[in-house]
Amino acid sequence: MAAVRWHPSPNFGPRRDGLEPSLVVIHHTAMDGAQAALERLCDPGAEVSAHYLIGADGTIWHLVEERMRAWHAGAGEWHGQGDINSRSIGIELDNRGDHPFSEPLMRALETLLRGIMARWNIDPRRVIGHSDMAPGRKHDPGARFDWVRLSRIGLALQPQPAPETPPDPIRFRQLARRAGFTAPCTDAALLAAVRLRLRPWGRGALCPADMAAVQGAATRPPA
């Protein structure tokens, strides 16, 4: 992995209410190249930032100190908790959202995540996507992001096996809330967000495979 480059952004402030990082939120930049994203994340007029940016070649830029509050998440909620910026570390990935994430980028992300999670004692279940906490409003890191790869090495939620059951929108929402998807949203937005995280190939109306996927995410692994 390439060395981490310190490239400070002016867009940050103190974490509120004495909060410390308990989440990691993963984004994609949706821009043409890391340099364009770096400029935007460090532009005072843009009023956006993240703690880290990872380029397609694996370069990591450190933009905001982890103990400070970066401006990356916006309005949203996870497991009933708001002010995600004060609760999280934000990582931007150099990707437009319509193509696979490069191997150097993924390797760098894995190394970065291991360090962050160890420093702040963050459980793999609390490594989330922007779309998880803001269904319908955000869709990153998108359908091409390899959550399965992270889960296999203990860096993200590993859903438990669950049986397929008949589609039930009320039960689906209950299970999604138990899994963490508590931000207010429509049924369609919730289904889209859950699929982005758990089965991005899913299409059409709520189906038994969706029920199994969300139940697997809501089920705690055995001790």
CB 127 within 8 A of CB 117: yes
pLDDT confidence tier of residue 2, bands split at 50, 70 and 90? low
pLDDT(1) > 80: no
Domains and CATH numbers, the chain: 4-152 (3.40.80.10), 169-218 (no CATH)
Helix (H) or strand (E) holding 91: strand 88-93
Mean residue pLDDT of the chain comes to 96
Is 164 noted as a catalytic residue in this protein? no
**For residues 59-85, average pLDDT:** 97
- For the chain, the first-to-last Cα distance in angstroms comes to 33
Phi, psi of 90 (to 5 degrees): -100, 135
User: If you average pLDDT over residues 8-22, what whole number do you get?
Assistant: 98
pLDDT digits (tens, 9 = 90+) for 16-69: 999 999 999 999 999 999 999 999 999 999 999 999 999 999 999 999 999 999
53 and 29 Cβ atoms separated by less than 8 Å: yes
* Residue 68, both tokens: 């400070």
Model's pTM, two decimal places?
Answer: 0.97
Give the span between the Cα atoms of 142 and 77, in whole angstroms: 18
Catalytic pick among 39, 92, 103, 164? 92
